[in-house]
Chain A
Amino acid sequence: MVHTDVHVVRRRARRVGARAAVHAVLIGYSLLAVGPALLVVANSFKERQAIFDSPFSLPTPSTWDTSGYETVFDEASFPTYFRNSLMVTLLSVLGVIVVSAMAAHALSEFDFRGRGLLRIYLLAGIMVPIRLATVGLVELFGSLEMINTLWALILVYIAMGIPLGIFILSQFFAQVPTELKQAARVDGAGEWRVFAVTLPLVRPGLGAVAVFTMLPVFNDLWFPLVLAPGESTRTMTLGAQQFLGQFETNWNAMLAALSLAIVPVLVLYVLFSRQFLRGLTEGAIK
């Protein structure tokens, strides 16, 4: 009796110890993950000397300095960059969702000759990075006189998102019960109506596609750099890159610009992290 008690206690102690170790590792890694962002934001409010003397301390009234932010607002039009990024991201995500959902519906719903080939053709793009097409894209948009327009970026990003979008959504559309669609047809619904009826059932899929499309688009540097480098079409990522390259010796300005780029994304992410990570997780196992 006593013997088993000791056993139980020992086992419980070991389990508590294991739990503590798990938490220690996760806390440690979480700090490593968010530490650099915190370091940048905290130092962006400090005067130059304090940044170098004590990088790890928080700003105090005596070290408080926002001259970096003033430089950023004087020298760069971050509100414009942010608006450009927002517009490009929203329209690209919307475009990918609408266009991929229609195609995924067709591929899972209609049986026709060449379906397999069409699917392979549309999905092949998952494996081929669109950056390799850059030389051709520059040529194409040059002849369309669309260099330095946001539409050039949006069209490229929609094309880029279509293969993965169709891939993820096909798995979701395949799970929509056929009876439902047949019932709608019997009730006299046209094909558009049938499509509309199935949409609510694949909502998690639409969310997953939005999540997978959003980040690469918002954070892309390459296409803004080669397709739309002009001042008025500059995106947040490119604007920050150019500003940071220009003010390389002005630490206050650099830290302020970095903070301005980090904080909005971070706030949006934390607000929607539940939906965001659910979308990623659901997309990942498909």
Chain B
Amino acid sequence: MRLAPAFAASSPRRRRLRSPGARALLFCAPALVIYSTFMVWPLLQSLRFALLDDAGDWVGLDNFDKLFGDPLWSERFWRALRQNMQFFLFHCLVQNPVGLTLAALLTVQRLRGANVYRTLIFVPTTLSVVIVGFAWRLILSPLWGIVHTPLLGRTSTALPTLSLISVWQWIGIPMIFFYATLISIPKELIDASRVDGASAWRTFWRVSFPLVLPMFGVITIVTYIANMNAFDLVFTVQGVQAGPAYSTDLLGTLFYRSAYGSVQGGGDRAMGATVASATFAVILVGLLLFFLVWRRRVRTYQL
């Protein structure tokens, strides 16, 4: 009986919270506030700054006119985009076959030491790009003499070399994605194929591979987004000028120079925001292609 007043007092509040919408909002509030304030809002602001001049006055599409119309700017932008696409292509061509091979080998049944291999192969992925970049810069430096050709110093080899360093570092991610998919395939499926007389090789291509195929799309789009944002490696190994002769310039380094300048000075908010907006558009095009083309074509199997 003594509890009655307290119970009565709390009941209106309880009733208000019983609405699922109110409860959900309460639980989502922290995530919503932080995400909206520190990600969505600054992103929209960045897109808006691309339509203003550096003093903050509305100029419409003038900045984009400059980016695509001014010979100096457009040359830089298209070069960065082209080289970024090459960078991405290199990743796709090397990381998918290598990552899948490693994952397939790691899932060989009753393989001794599989955990040790997996741990070691993943080591570069845990290190910072800065560390990896500097380590490779020393190793590839003709000064040290392990490699005699200045791979990073020639315009023809610098970008492929950087791409391979990047693949070397990130191979753990596609590998673990393929690995996770491979170990999730029910053992009965594999056994059934083997009992029917198929070789391990044939079983892999006819049973496992079709089940892994959707993963290629996921890995490719994740790589695409990451590559279009790549900055750290070029900045660390080749500097903000993305040398030699801008041959390793990517959208990320161009963005940094446009917004924050370089040794030659310069850099302003308006052009920085403009390059960022153009990069955003490049990423959106990739996402659209992924969802409209790849996702419609490739069949996903429910296991």
Within 8 A of B (CB), among A77-136: 95, 98-100, 102-103, 105-107, 109-115, 118, 122, 125, 127-136
Q: Which residues does chain B contribute within 8 Å of A33, judged by CB atoms?
A: 120-124, 168
User: Could you tell me if A132 and B139 are in contact, using CB atoms closer than 8 angstroms?
Assistant: no
B158 interface residue, CB < 8 Å from A? no
Q: Which residues does chain A contribute within 8 Å of B39, judged by CB atoms?
A: 125, 130, 133, 156, 159-160, 162
A29 interface residue, CB < 8 Å from B? yes
User: Could you tell me if A241 and B236 are in contact, using CB atoms closer than 8 angstroms?
Assistant: yes
Q: Which residues does chain A contribute within 8 Å of B45, judged by CB atoms?
A: 133, 135-136, 139-140
A186 interface residue, CB < 8 Å from B? no
User: Could you tell me if A40 and B41 are in contact, using CB atoms closer than 8 angstroms?
Assistant: no
Give A100's nearest chain B residue, CB to CB: B31
A258 interface residue, CB < 8 Å from B? yes
User: Could you tell me if B102 and A277 are in contact, using CB atoms closer than 8 angstroms?
Assistant: no
Check A240/B128 contact, CB under 8 A, given A103-B28, A132-B46, A222-B231.
yes
A270 interface residue, CB < 8 Å from B? yes
Q: Bound complex: CA of A114 vs CA of B127, how far in Å?
A: 41
Interface residue stretch chosen among A1-9, A66-74, A259-267: A259-267
Contact partner, A133, options B43, B134, B226, Cβ 8 Å: B43
Within 8 A of A (CB), among B246-303: 252, 255, 259-260, 269, 272-273, 276-277, 279-280, 283, 287
Give A114's nearest chain B residue, CB to CB: B21
B58 interface residue, CB < 8 Å from A? no
A183 interface residue, CB < 8 Å from B? no
B: residues with CB less than 8 A from A are: 17, 19-21, 23-28, 30-32, 34-35, 37-46, 49, 101-102, 105-106, 108, 111, 113, 115-132, 134-136, 138-139, 143-146, 168, 176-177, 179-181, 183-184, 225-226, 228-229, 231-232, 235-236, 252, 255, 259-260, 269, 272-273, 276-277, 279-280, 283, 287
Q: Which 7 A-B pairs have the closest CB atoms?
A: A136-B42, A136-B45, A106-B27, A159-B38, A219-B128, A112-B21, A133-B42
User: Could you tell me if B130 and A221 are in contact, using CB atoms closer than 8 angstroms?
Assistant: yes
Is chain A's interface secondary structure helix, strand, loop, or mixed overall?
A: helix
User: Could you tell me if B236 and A221 are in contact, using CB atoms closer than 8 angstroms?
Assistant: yes
Q: Which residues does chain B contribute within 8 Å of A158, judged by CB atoms?
A: 34, 38
Q: Which residues does chain A contribute within 8 Å of B31, judged by CB atoms?
A: 99-100, 102-103, 122, 162, 166
User: Could you tell me if B120 and A266 are in contact, using CB atoms closer than 8 angstroms?
Assistant: no
Of B131, B228, B255, B259, most buried by chain A (CB within 10 Å of CB) is B131
User: Could you tell me if A32 and B168 are in contact, using CB atoms closer than 8 angstroms?
Assistant: yes
Give A26's nearest chain B residue, CB to CB: B117
Contact partner, A155, options B21, B38, B40, B283, Cβ 8 Å: B38
A205 interface residue, CB < 8 Å from B? no
User: Could you tell me if A132 and B27 are in contact, using CB atoms closer than 8 angstroms?
Assistant: no
Q: How many residues of A contact B (CB 8 A)?
A: 89
Give A214's nearest chain B residue, CB to CB: B126
Contact partner, B128, options A100, A166, A218, Cβ 8 Å: A218
Of B26, B42, B225, B236, most buried by chain A (CB within 10 Å of CB) is B42
Known: A102-B27, A155-B37, A191-B17. 17 other contacts (CB 8 A): A19-B108, A22-B105, A33-B124, A106-B24, A112-B21, A125-B39, A127-B287, A135-B49, A158-B38, A191-B27, A219-B130, A237-B130, A262-B127, A273-B119, A277-B176, A284-B176, A284-B177
A189 interface residue, CB < 8 Å from B? no
User: Could you tell me if A122 and B35 are in contact, using CB atoms closer than 8 angstroms?
Assistant: yes
Q: Which residues does chain A contribute within 8 Å of B135, judged by CB atoms?
A: 36-37, 39-40, 258, 262
Contact partner, A110, options B24, B43, B115, Cβ 8 Å: B24
Q: Bound complex: CA of A131 vs CA of B280, how far in Å?
A: 10
Q: Bound complex: CA of A118 vs CA of B134, how far in Å?
A: 43
Q: Which residues does chain B contribute within 8 Å of A155, judged by CB atoms?
A: 34, 37-38
Q: Which residues does chain B contribute within 8 Å of A129, judged by CB atoms?
A: 225-226, 228-229, 283
A244 interface residue, CB < 8 Å from B? yes
User: Could you tell me if A135 and B21 are in contact, using CB atoms closer than 8 angstroms?
Assistant: no
Can you spell out 25 A-B residue pairs with CB atoms less than 8 angstroms apart? A19-B108, A30-B117, A30-B120, A33-B121, A37-B127, A55-B144, A103-B27, A106-B25, A106-B28, A107-B28, A122-B28, A131-B255, A133-B42, A134-B46, A135-B273, A136-B273, A137-B38, A137-B42, A219-B130, A221-B130, A240-B128, A240-B134, A241-B236, A258-B131, A265-B126
